[in-house]
Amino acid sequence: MSKNKFNSMPEDFETWAARRLAAPPSWEEHGIPYMYEGTNGRGEKDYLKALVAGALCHPERLSEWAERVNRERAVPPFSPEEIMHKIEDAMKRAEILSSQPGEFNNNNQNDYFERNDMIDDNGNNSFTPQRTERRQGYPVKSLHTAKPIFRRDVFERCIKDMPEISESWFVERSSRDPATMSAADYLLSLYRRGDVLFVTNKKKARCADIWAEIAKPENWRKQLEQLAEVENPEGVWYVPNSVTGQPVTKANEKPSWRSKENVNRFEYYVFEADVLTAAEQLKLLAVLPLPIVAIYFSGGKSYHALIRVNLENPTREAWEKYVERLKKPLVERGADAAMFQIQQMCRLPQCRRGAERQRLIYFNTEPILEGSLWTHGEVISK
């Protein structure tokens, strides 16, 4: 049981959540309304209101509350990416509301929701104009326009109460035993006919050492198997989205085979969090509500995750807009901002990096679309 400054009486999370969801589905009845698509944004607004209530009353359980409301009230459910975006927005709004005088409790929650309605999409709060000018010595607007940085407090809230997570925990939840896969198996399982993958053992290479054309594995598989076993301290790298295989030359620059103009499919991005310890990274990857396809050890001090981008119309512009929405909440939780570039290379699993191996620890071509591996990942492999 916990008591926070927004509640006049202590109430544990389970009791609070059950009461809100058991009440008639209306704000006036202290309940949570149903959130329907096609209501001119009303459903999204109601979902955000519910998350702000969770952020004010039980911030340590906000992710769990967001998934529960999504499961029991949203029709159709929001995507994992939309949930993460709303959680981040809810935390900002709760921070603004918590700086205002007065308590938040069940007796004045309608007043609270009126205040919440007054916070616009930029986080500016017209309910108390004097507070939107400067708060804690900084303009409120700067909270939303500044370059995202890692925030230890946000990260700690995200993994609060999480136990230690081992590599074997992920292996057990893989759809295929990662230890039985080679680097070539990995590429052939993920990519499709027509795709061409840029593979190299040079971190700053402009041209590939291997062009892995998925339709013709006989042309490159043996070469990749050999490259994967070379004890090169730089390891083996690849661009996780298909490329044209043709050079692009910009004004006053050398030709490149892996610029963003070379990419011709827009399906994945890579998560990396070197600011965290290895143990912290595994905890975070277990709780992030993202469609994770693969997780692998870098051969150094970090783990990388390949994450699918679910787009109906997968263009470069749509990909950039999609990952831009995720950039701030993920960077605040430890992600490397450099990985949010379509042409960015990452390590290829199951290849050597010096004496170490860039070992694959999780693999699933049909990733979890709602929730996280921690909340919904079933033990599959034996």
Q: What is the pLDDT along the chain (382 residues), one digit of tens a residue?
A: 444 433 444 578 888 888 888 888 887 777 888 888 777 778 888 898 899 888 888 888 888 899 999 999 998 888 888 888 888 888 888 877 765 544 333 333 333 333 443 333 444 433 332 333 333 333 333 333 457 888 898 899 899 889 999 999 999 999 999 999 999 999 999 999 999 999 999 988 989 999 999 999 999 999 999 999 999 999 999 999 999 999 998 777 888 898 999 999 999 999 999 999 999 999 999 999 999 999 999 999 899 999 999 888 889 999 999 998 898 899 999 999 888 999 999 999 999 999 999 999 999 999 988 788 988 766 654 3
Residue 142's pLDDT is 33
State the architecture of 167-376 in CATH terms. Alpha-Beta Complex (3.90)
Q: Compute the C-alpha angle 148/307/187, nearest 5°.
A: 135
Instruction: Quote the pLDDT of residue 204.
Output: 86
Torsion angle of the four alpha carbons 72, 75, 79, 81, in this order, in degrees rounded to the nearest 10: -80
pLDDT at 168: 96
Report pLDDT for 380. 56
The pLDDT of residue 342 is 93
Predicted structure pTM score: 0.66
Residue 241 structure tokens: 């989205």
Per-residue pLDDT at 296: 97
Alpha helices, DSSP H only, in the chain?
13-22, 42-57, 62-73, 80-98, 109-117, 129-133, 142-145, 152-158, 167-171, 183-190, 221-228, 278-287, 316-332, 373-376
Give residue-wise pLDDT tens across range 80-130: 888 888 888 888 888 777 655 443 333 333 333 334 433 334 444 333 323
* Helix/strand/coil for 220: coil
Domain boundaries, the chain: 13-146, 167-376
Report whether 184 contacts 224 (CB < 8 A). Answer: yes
C-alpha–C-alpha distance, residues 62 and 4, integer Å: 14
Q: What integer pLDDT is reported at residue 143 of this predicted model?
A: 34
**pLDDT of 98:** 64
55 phi, psi to nearest 5 deg: -65, -35
